[in-house]
Structure 1
Amino acid sequence: MERLSAEADGFFDVLEERRRSSDLSYAFRTFNPQPYRGAMPISAATLNRMVLESQYLSYVIQEILLESEEPREALLEEASALLDEMSQNLQLGFIRLLGFIMNKVFKSVFSSIHVNEDGLTRLQQAIQEYPVILLPNHRSYMDFLVLSYIMFTYDLSIPVIAAGIPLMGMKLFGEMFRRSGAFFIRRAIGSDKLYWAVLSEYVRTIVRTGYAPLEFYVEGLRSRTLKSLTPKLGMLHMVLEPFLKGEVFDISLVPISISYERVLEESLLAHELLGVPKPKETTGALLKARTVLKEDYGCMHVFFGNPVSVRDLVKGKINCRQYNLVPRDLPTKPSKEMQEFVSGLAHMIIRLQERNVILSAWNLMAVVLLQNLQGIDLDLLTHKTLWLRRLALRFGAHLRWPKNVSDSEVMSSSMSLHHSVVRCERGRVYLVEEEGPGPVTQEEGVFRSATAVLMCASYRNQAVHVFTRPAMVAVAMTTAASHRTDDIFHHFTFLLELFSNELVVIPGQALQDFEEGCSLLQESGVIGRSDEEIYVRDNGQETIIFLRAILQPFTESYQVVFRYLCEESSQTLREKTFSTNIRSFIMKLLISGEVQTYECLSSDLQKNVLSALLRMAAVTKTKVDDQNEFRVNKYAVKRIWDMLSNGWTPEISVEARL
């Protein structure tokens, strides 16, 4: 049975009741959360003192003393200063103030905020039983604000939140965020031993005392492409230690999926990907951006996933007894076994986040539009979007499709909401390019086209995970040496490794991913399987062509970067100049018409190619004068390029496109 509406599965609109009551009465209503039963009732100041007086921090300071000539008092003062800079100071009064402001903002910019009711019930129970770690995906600056807003609205303990230190520098707002539960982490910690010690002990103390639910982004950064990012593992290591050392009985990890119908930063993100410097997070910049709040951003969905028990996860995977062999307060280096476990867990959390993302009609329309950059008739766009809806539902997507509304009206309202990205003229739909003063140079023309494509691509990217595994099977079937299952699987694993920074996959699960992709295609009547071969059914060609086209921007963009690396006269590249040089190279190819894939201008994609080549030993990285340098093995890059392009047909006929 097709799942046509998320609302049918227990979602409700948080804003509906808020629109019927005053903002002031909402902010000052009785707040009565049920905290963790094992929590120690301590203040933020007491929490800080526990960190500074911990045996762990004392031990690390002693180690630093042996390595340097700094006096102990100076190190203690530095540790105290770091903690003052970092720590939160959660106060209910500021939560009420933030709630008052956010109530006004959310009612202004969003038509609705839908939350799954059963998820809130599960979270409420989990918070009372064990320390809880909230793990949302990160697509907008709104993410942590909306979660605290929901927690306050439904009498759930307000979380403390790991935030980037630039937010701390915002006048007035930085302190308001701190007193609303944010603690601030530097982005570049490097090998600063004391900072690592203060941060890790602070995080562990929050968990072991049950001070509050702890919230952080397992991706580490906000995704500028709106795709999932490869997870960062440092914070996850920290929060797991209290369990591994027997300081808490269990920890509940709660994956959270936040889905935006329209993202506030859509234009900003596209410009960042094209090399435009990111605006500094200042109060002035925030006030200048207030015109954004006059726009309509449609609806938002927040899905609270099932709490995941760390105790259950480690069974049979980690021998916790090894942690009893050394005193709890001594620093311990994670074993290889532990590193692999945490990596697998982080990737699993991201998979759970993706699984519960709620897609809109616009996400599917964006997929079709990007395969028709010259424009497409509205009737054909509607037809192909409806075809894609059926395929997405068969592949397990959660899709919000308005009830009792005609398909043409759904398409029309989606285009109206996304007027900054798409326009309809005389029954034909085009991407919108930015307007500017005066004549446009060739470079400016390409930049504007690329901005439009990347803005649209960000919405396609929100749906890519639904098609990733079937699409990789489709590409592997095209590029493999034969129809033999072994050959197709071999090429599938190559694609997984190459694109693992683009399309997050769980390490060590290539076979499961392959079987999942094949099963979805087989159940949809696209492919058939014999004992040793996989073949495309006659009525499956359209789907195979579409799935290949989904990955085409990534595949073609990677080939463009490979070409740059192979044609570059020097085998050594400086990280500082890499982005500028490759952007200039690609710009020339786009102007000449030799390349049509604007997404290869994305700085994130270019960095992902280097990461893939580093992982595949085609590039090595060294540090020279505090700058990263990359040495390119052109033979190895060419070999990977050949394997990727073998059998790949860059151009797809107009008739075969979606």
Structure 2
Amino acid sequence: MERNTKFVDMLEDRRRDCDFLWATRPMDPALPHMLPPDSVYDRERIMQAVLQDKQVKAAIDTIAKTTGVGVKDVENNARAMINEMASKADLATVRWIGIFITKAMKRMFSQIYINEIMLSNLKKETQISQAQYIYVPSHRSYLDFILLSYILFSYDMALPNIAAGMDFYNMKIVGELLRKTGAFYIRRSFSNDLLYKQIFRSYVNTIVSHSDRAIEFFIEGTRSRSQKSTIPKYGLLSIIIESLLQGDVPDIYFVPMSINYERPPEELLFVYEMLGVPKPKESTARLFRSLSILQKPFSHGRIFFNIGEPISANQFVDKAYRQKKILQPSFKIPSSVVENIAYLIIESHKKNTVLMPINIIALLFNEKIQTKPKEPYTLDLLIQDYQWFKSFVIKSLKALMYGTETTDNDMIKQEILESLKPHDELIVLDSSNTLKIKQRHKRMKQLNYSNIKGYPLSEQTLQIAVPAINIAIYSNPTLAFLTEIVFITATIGENGIETEVALERYELLRRLFSTEFAMRPIEDKALIKIEWEKSLNVLISQNCLHTVNDLIFIGNNTKLFSILHNIILPFIDVMYVTCILLSEWTERTSVELTDRTILVETQKEVERLIFETKDRCQHPYCLSLDLYNIAWSSLLSQGIIAYQKYTNTYRTDKVKLTYLIGALLELPLRHPTEIYVDAFPSIISTSSMDVQAKL
């Protein structure tokens, strides 16, 4: 990717201008929903429209009859709900917040690169289209929605209606300020609250049809602590798509936006959350304490903000659906339509991911620790490996990556050193120019173990796991481009494999880990085969694999094969250990099988394996609770475990479980000969013990 072809550093002008004059400049923000003036509703009119909605009124009457509470009291409750929910956009507030935000952005980040061509095209298109626009960013940090609003304000575009959680609403002062920047608040769970559910549905329908501002929400629901895509959530998306059936808007355009951080502000907190330490409760006081990250200039490096092609809902919601809605008011859009749009958005996020040098460095360093920990990983060796792997992902996988394509060692060296600067609390070069890890974990004081979500890990484990998982998090963005080919490396043995068997194993892994890697579920085996063949050809072109008649063998490029193979090992290992624990559950413990108990037992077992075996779960990333939760979800979706409603426990399908364990055992996995915990002391920096874990 050429540095200046598509992406422009929006902070460059801000560093030259007066922040106050910029924030208070004359503005006429471009509104993305072209509506006649009488069709644009202000906050009060939106609230009234919601309260007059037929389904909301029916819910009020139903609740009054079933509970014996007066209709007026239920109406007052409904009015309080919509008042709590509705946004209150105020440009003056946005201007004042903009002064502070721009100062913070200029302090924290060296550059914020934005795909200005795509943004300009979007701005032009919204001025001639009567469709409603929905901004759908990836979710990697709390900063995401602030960043999008900051970009829109910078380019004289109206701030959207932003779906926000109640965590922010409950923050003193901050909650109301965010409301005035466009936030509308949603309770985390309300499936059993008929009145709230109908009010929320009506509010979304009303702002889709009668707000001249766009809507913004995170289709992944929550931040991806692992920094890779997570499966979409369908709730809000389905309500928005249902709005199209009302006929008040000609079309709805979903605009996917990929946000990529060189160093996300919550970096270390994400590591601890993945290990089971609960995230701190959001509060205004904690927000002010977090401003300590502003002490060091450019401490979080660069951000890349990329915009995908808008996705028209009309492609999927045809006239037949609209006619059904007219004839049957209770008609709902098929779930397959919602799922299709959701995965198109996620796939756009992946395709438009911009990799940064730290992602490749972390991947290479992680491989070195596992395979040759006693050999110093010098800057010169890193330069060679970095140039080679960067060329592979750009040319063979068509990945977007920061920087210019060059073979000049000095330029590559500068690119690497520049990328390491924001990470000097994690990865450093010692006096001999050898890569070392800094010890990020400091003994935690006054930790309430009753709040731990998993098994209370030992201090020895945390000393190793915290920096190891920290590095793994930075390698994870590469999985947007690597997932399919890493699956294949787990299916090919030393003595080769029949093509048909290799494809069967690929289908198994894809089915097991489609949730883990946010892959669209595919039942059609012909489509899976096409996907497999495309990835297989990539590996053949790199001499990772070669074919003879109907057999596939490992090629001469064992270096690339090893990197790709080792990426997938923690995910397969955790799935296998979870299955073994489930098969032995009644023999191991008398505790009832629940999602909580299996999570604790799996993390406990993985901690043991990390120190005691070379066969499974060597890498500390296997301790991540994300892996257990997703493994559990995958087994549920396949009927290998089933929920028993009356006892609130689970049972296993022994036949399916036994088959899966056998299939996983047949995979020709090659675990590193070096045990990670033994390798760790040789790559740890001895001058880093003053680093504090900010919990």
| Alignment TM-score, normalising by the size of structure 1 | 0.91
Question: What does 1:291-302 align with in structure 2 at a 5 Å threshold?
Answer: 291-295=292-296, 296-302=299-305
Unaligned runs of 5+ in 1: none
Deviates most, 32-41 or 17-26:
32-41
Match of 2:480 in 1: 465
Match of 2:452 in 1: none
| Alignment of 1:185 onto 2:211 | no
Cα deviation, residue 534, structure 1: 5.7
Match of 1:377 in 2: 377
State the SS of the aligned residue for 1:9. Answer: coil
| Alignment of 1:498 onto 2:512 | yes
Deviation by residue 1:547-594 (Cα, 9 ceiling, x = unmatched): 222211211222232233333335841334443333223222223355
User: Structure 1 CA distance, aligned partners of 2:190 and 2:387?
Assistant: 48
Question: What does 1:36-47 align with in structure 2 at a 5 Å threshold?
Answer: 36-38=33-35, 40-47=39-46
Amino acid at match of 2:231: T
Match of 1:25 in 2: 21
User: Structure 1 CA distance, aligned partners of 2:611 and 2:141?
Assistant: 33
User: Structure 2 CA distance, aligned partners of 1:109 and 1:306?
Assistant: 29
Question: What does 1:471-490 align with in structure 2 at a 5 Å threshold?
Answer: 471-478=486-493, 482-484=497-499, 486-490=500-504
| Alignment of 1:215 onto 2:219 | no
User: Structure 1 CA distance, aligned partners of 2:121 and 2:55?
Assistant: 34
Amino acid at match of 2:486: A
User: Is the CA contact (8 Å cut-off) linking 1:10 and 1:118 kept in structure 2?
Assistant: yes
Q: 1:68 to 1:479 in 2, by over 3 A?
A: farther
| Alignment of 1:416 onto 2:412 | no
User: Is the CA contact (8 Å cut-off) linking 2:366 and 2:472 kept in structure 1?
Assistant: yes
Match of 1:205 in 2: 206
User: Is the CA contact (8 Å cut-off) linking 2:324 and 2:331 kept in structure 1?
Assistant: no
Picking from 588, 605, 617, the partner of 1:585 is 605
User: Structure 2 CA distance, aligned partners of 1:444 and 1:555?
Assistant: 26
Match of 2:12 in 1: 16
| Alignment of 1:642 onto 2:650 | no
Match of 1:597 in 2: 619
State the SS of the aligned residue for 2:16. Answer: coil
Q: 1:442 to 1:203 in 2, by over 3 A?
A: closer
Cα deviation, residue 145, structure 1: 0.3
Q: 1:31 to 1:546 in 2, by over 3 A?
A: same
Picking from 577, 584, 591, the partner of 1:567 is 584
Match of 1:546 in 2: 563
Match of 1:104 in 2: 103
| Alignment of 1:360 onto 2:359 | no
Q: 1:166 to 1:624 in 2, by over 3 A?
A: farther
| Alignment of 1:520 onto 2:538 | yes
Amino acid at match of 1:420: E
User: Is the CA contact (8 Å cut-off) linking 1:480 and 1:488 kept in structure 2?
Assistant: no
Question: What does 1:324-473 align with in structure 2 at a 5 Å threshold?
Answer: 324-327=326-329, 331-334=330-333, 338-373=334-369, 374=373, 376-378=376-378, 379-393=380-394, 394-401=396-403, 406-425=411-430, 426-434=432-440, 436=442, 443-473=458-488
Cα deviation, residue 517, structure 1: 1.7
Match of 2:683 in 1: none
User: Is the CA contact (8 Å cut-off) linking 1:127 and 1:213 kept in structure 2?
Assistant: no
Cα deviation, residue 293, structure 1: 2.3
User: Is the CA contact (8 Å cut-off) linking 1:218 and 1:346 kept in structure 2?
Assistant: yes
Cα deviation, residue 437, structure 1: 6.0
Picking from 622, 625, 636, the partner of 1:614 is 636
User: Structure 2 CA distance, aligned partners of 1:187 and 1:173?
Assistant: 19
Percentage of matched positions with identical amino acids:
27
User: Is the CA contact (8 Å cut-off) linking 1:572 and 1:632 kept in structure 2?
Assistant: no
Deviates most, 343-352 or 40-49:
40-49
User: Structure 2 CA distance, aligned partners of 1:83 and 1:126?
Assistant: 32
| Alignment of 1:71 onto 2:59 | no
Cα deviation, residue 110, structure 1: 0.4
Amino acid at match of 2:479: V
User: Is the CA contact (8 Å cut-off) linking 1:572 and 1:631 kept in structure 2?
Assistant: no
Cα deviation, residue 387, structure 1: 1.8
User: Structure 2 CA distance, aligned partners of 1:435 and 1:34?
Assistant: 47
User: Structure 1 CA distance, aligned partners of 2:218 and 2:636?
Assistant: 25
Q: 1:609 to 1:157 in 2, by over 3 A?
A: same
Runs of 4+ in 1 over 6 A off after TM superposition: none
Deviates most, 364-373 or 408-417:
408-417
User: Is the CA contact (8 Å cut-off) linking 1:469 and 1:516 kept in structure 2?
Assistant: no
Question: What does 1:151-300 align with in structure 2 at a 5 Å threshold?
Answer: 151-295=152-296, 296-300=299-303
User: Is the CA contact (8 Å cut-off) linking 1:259 and 1:301 kept in structure 2?
Assistant: yes
State the SS of the aligned residue for 1:451. Answer: helix
User: Structure 2 CA distance, aligned partners of 1:305 and 1:115?
Assistant: 12
Q: 1:155 to 1:272 in 2, by over 3 A?
A: same
| Alignment of 1:310 onto 2:325 | no
Amino acid at match of 1:558: M
Amino acid at match of 1:636: K
User: Structure 1 CA distance, aligned partners of 2:245 and 2:541?
Assistant: 42
User: Is the CA contact (8 Å cut-off) linking 1:110 and 1:297 kept in structure 2?
Assistant: yes
Compute the RMSD of aligned alpha carbons.
2.6
Match of 1:57 in 2: 56
State the SS of the aligned residue for 2:232. Answer: coil
Deviation by residue 1:129-187 (Cα, 9 ceiling, x = unmatched): 11100000000011000100111111112101001110111111111001110111111
Q: 1:29 to 1:540 in 2, by over 3 A?
A: same
Cα deviation, residue 116, structure 1: 0.8
State the SS of the aligned residue for 2:256. Answer: strand
Q: 1:321 to 1:474 in 2, by over 3 A?
A: farther
Amino acid at match of 1:323: K
User: Is the CA contact (8 Å cut-off) linking 1:556 and 1:597 kept in structure 2?
Assistant: no
- How many residues were matched structurally? 639
User: Structure 1 CA distance, aligned partners of 2:162 and 2:581?
Assistant: 41
Amino acid at match of 1:563: I
Cα deviation, residue 527, structure 1: 4.3
Deviation by residue 1:340-396 (Cα, 9 ceiling, x = unmatched): 121121111101011001111110111112223337512333322222111111211
User: Structure 1 CA distance, aligned partners of 2:85 and 2:547?
Assistant: 57
Cα deviation, residue 97, structure 1: 1.6
